[in-house]
Amino acid sequence: MTQELYSFFLVTAPGLEQLALDEWSQKSRYLREIYPDLMSKEEDIYPRIVTGGVELFLKEQEGWILNHYLRIPTRILQRLVTFQCRNYERLEAKVRHLEWHHYLRQGEVEVHPSYHRSYLNMKKRIQEEVQKGLAHFERHQAFRKVHLDEPQGIYVRIVNNEATISLDTSGNLLHRRGYKTNTVEAPVRETLGAALYWMCYQELGGVPEIILDPMAGSGTLVMEPMIFWSSWRRRNFAYQNFPCASKRLSVETTQALPPIETMPRLLAGDTSEKATSALKENFSALAKKEKWNIDIRQGDWLDVWAENELAGQGLMLLNPPYNLRLEADQEALAQQLQSFVKKVRPSLVGVIWPGRKLPVIEGKWVQHVTTTNGGVPVSLGVLRP
């Protein structure tokens, strides 16, 4: 007997759609070996990239547990229904008849509308009609009491008068991993750090022996590789609050994926005393009982790292300050980067660079995608020196 497949949408930052699909594809292969009863057959899924994310058809529990394993998406939505909608009454009527008691509990439900080229083009009115439909449903089928203090969210997207109603399975944005106890100004999003590491992992064909981040800030780029293959349990997700979840998901999905068995040696530092302190605190909170090896140094990146530090074997990751708006500043940093790469000799370099273009330095840029970090245009690039 085949199990029904549900429509899910992996929301990503613009430009990261293909990376998110590749990450899902690789990790799903491992998950099929670990949890064969939870996972759908690869030939039944029909993944499709669209602007802003990836569409998938999955078993319901399979879609939920991806919150624990995927690092590049910012949110995972479960699509409940898609229908033609040319007036607000039609929207409210459709909401009334969905089986909300399986997914919602008592308390606030946030409605997030978006629309394009449609008759329904008033945000507040869309929210009101959805709330009216929910209230009507709850009068006839009471919701259960709150279980977890997680945001409940409904997403309504209307394009060319076709409406899709989706349920948020993530809760807080997925880049909020829950391992950082201390941050610095303008930190890079964890999802971007994961995307850069995934690009480098693909290019290397595996886990590097050493990872160096000489401008580590509070540690995002050097920490994301350490959790990339784990089952993330440091926070709750919205699906865990669904009344139906305990019955439909009977397996504890706590097992890490095989590449986690190989852990690189970590080298990290920053010129700022405050950032270095945050880095140490965050790494301590992340590692806890793990026996991870990290060497943290404070000082100018051109001074504190030795000649031949990586000896052609390691991966270097870099996220320079985003206030480098002037072309002259970027040129100077590019020259420093080139000198530093020659000095420490990594086998591969991954950078998050301000703007849409990567710096001109010796070597070959083998991968390049553009996206944004906090609204600032950035490039993710992988260099073979």
Q: What is the CATH number of the domain that holds 332?
A: 3.40.50.150
The pLDDT of residue 322: 66
Q: Are residues 162 and 212 in the same domain?
A: no
User: pLDDT confidence of 306, banded at 50, 70, 90?
Assistant: confident
Domain membership of residue 174 (yes or no) is no
Q: Are residues 280 and 340 in the same domain?
A: yes
Domain membership of residue 263 (yes or no) is yes
Domain membership of residue 46 (yes or no) is yes
Q: How many CB atoms lie within 10 A of CB 206?
A: 9
> Could you give the CA distance from residue 251 to residue 147 in angstroms, rounded to a whole number?
19
Mean pLDDT of 373-381: 92
Length of the chain: 385
Among 103-117, 245-259, 314-328, the minimum mean pLDDT is found in 314-328
b/e code 168-185 from CB counts within 10 Å (16+ = b) = bbbbbebbbbebbeeebe
The pTM is what?
Answer: 0.94
Mean pLDDT of 197-203: 98
328-354 pLDDT, tens digit per residue, is 588 889 999 999 999 999 999 999 999
Domain membership of residue 184 (yes or no) is no
Q: Are residues 48 and 112 in the same domain?
A: yes
Q: What are phi and psi of 227, to 5 degrees?
A: -110, 5
Q: Are residues 146 and 295 in the same domain?
A: no
Q: Are residues 22 and 126 in the same domain?
A: yes
Domain membership of residue 236 (yes or no) is no
Q: Are residues 220 and 141 in the same domain?
A: no
Highest mean pLDDT among 42-51, 195-204, 237-246: 195-204
Domain membership of residue 143 (yes or no) is yes
136-158 pLDDT, tens digit per residue, is 999 999 999 988 888 899 999 99
Domain membership of residue 238 (yes or no) is no
Domain membership of residue 36 (yes or no) is yes
| Number of structural domains the chain divides into | 2
Q: Are residues 221 and 79 in the same domain?
A: no
What proportion of the chain, given as a percentage, has pLDDT over 90?
A: 78
Q: Are residues 361 and 296 in the same domain?
A: yes
Q: What sign does the CA torsion over 101, 102, 107, 108 have?
A: negative
Q: Are residues 139 and 196 in the same domain?
A: no
Domain containing 148 equals: 6-168
The pLDDT of residue 206: 93
Give 150-183 as a DSSP string: ---EEEEEEETTEEEEEEESS-S-TT--S--S--
Count Cβ atoms within 10 A of the Cβ of residue 242 and give its class: 0-12 exposed, 13-18 middle, 19 or more buried: buried
86-111 pLDDT, tens digit per residue, is 999 999 999 999 999 999 999 999 99
Q: Are residues 269 and 367 in the same domain?
A: yes
Q: Are residues 163 and 283 in the same domain?
A: no
Q: Are residues 47 and 143 in the same domain?
A: yes
- CATH code for the domain in which residue 63 is found: 3.30.2130.30
255-301 pLDDT, tens digit per residue, is 889 887 788 999 999 999 999 999 999 998 888 767 788 999 999 99
> Could you give the CA distance from residue 157 to residue 106 in angstroms, rounded to a whole number?
24
109-142 pLDDT, tens digit per residue, is 999 999 999 999 999 999 999 999 999 999 999 9
CA distances from 287 to 13, 269, 278, 293, 304 (A): 28, 17, 14, 10, 24
